[in-house]
Structure 1
Amino acid sequence: MNGKFVASSGKDALLRQYLLEASKAMEAVDNCYCYFVGVNEEEPDADYMHELWENQAAHRASLELDVFKNLIEKAKPLIVTMSNDPVLIIIEGKASF
């Protein structure tokens, strides 16, 4: 999954903090293979995330965990727009960690 979150003016740092908290919490989720938070210098109010999951069910299950429910509730009021790229099913490739 790839997503873009645009925060209301002046709230980008707080939104980024919540996304980074989610990233740290993902370390305890076995079937989350990666969760990256990134920025684009040309869009100061935007934050990007990239997630790689074992499958879609694993991602859906993570949204039911209290830690993520709480982070989502805190972040929602800060988000002006949100978009997701199409969900890709990876068939082959390489990742190094």
Structure 2
Amino acid sequence: MNKFAMYGKLTAHPGQRDALVQLMLEAADQLDAMEGCELYIINVSEEDPNVVWVTELWRDAEAHAASLKNEYVLALIQSCRPLIAGVEPVKLRPVGGKGL
């Protein structure tokens, strides 16, 4: 299986989580048409009022890398930067389970 998965922990500046979530949800709508994106879910932490988790599943690592060159994605990243205090990506290789 060549799928590529990633969890992204985005820590918003205090009081900016909801604004960040709104931008990320707009991005999720655009990803419906993006080649290779199979899953893109925005989650909020129940323990930390500043944390947003992004769950991603891609056809393969190349599809994910290509998405980071997309003009829309690059513009979204730029618009989100002022709201984000920190980013912690966790790259994964799915090996099986329900939904794969």
Q: Fold-level match, TM-score > 0.5?
A: yes
User: What residue ranges of structure 1 are gaps of 5+ in the alignment?
Assistant: none
**1:33 positional shift:** 0.6
Distance 1:42 1:11 in 2: 16
Aligned to 2:92: 88
Helix, strand or coil at the partner of 1:47: strand
Q: TM-score, normalised by structure 1?
A: 0.90
How many residue pairs end up in the alignment? Answer: 95
Q: Give CA-to-partner distance per residue, 1:54-76, whole Å, 9 cap, x none.
A: 11110010111111111100001
Q: Is residue 33 of structure 2 the alignment partner of residue 31 of structure 1?
A: no
Aligned to 2:63: 58
Indicate which of 4, 10, 17 corresponds to 2:9.
4
Distance 1:21 1:59 in 2: 18
User: What residue ranges of structure 2 are gaps of 5+ in the alignment?
Assistant: 1-5
Distance 1:40 1:88 in 2: 20
Q: Which runs of 4+ in 1 moved over 4 A?
A: none
Aligned to 2:54: 49
**1:26 positional shift:** 0.8
Between the two proteins, what is the percent identity of the paired residues?
Answer: 35
Aligned to 2:3: none
Distance 1:60 1:29 in 2: 12
Matched AA of 2:23: Y
Distance 2:89 2:95 in 1: 20
Distance 2:94 2:18 in 1: 32
Q: TM-score, normalised by structure 2?
A: 0.88
Matched AA of 2:40: Y
Which of the pair is proportionally richer in strand? 2
Distance 1:63 1:79 in 2: 18
Aligned to 2:75: 70
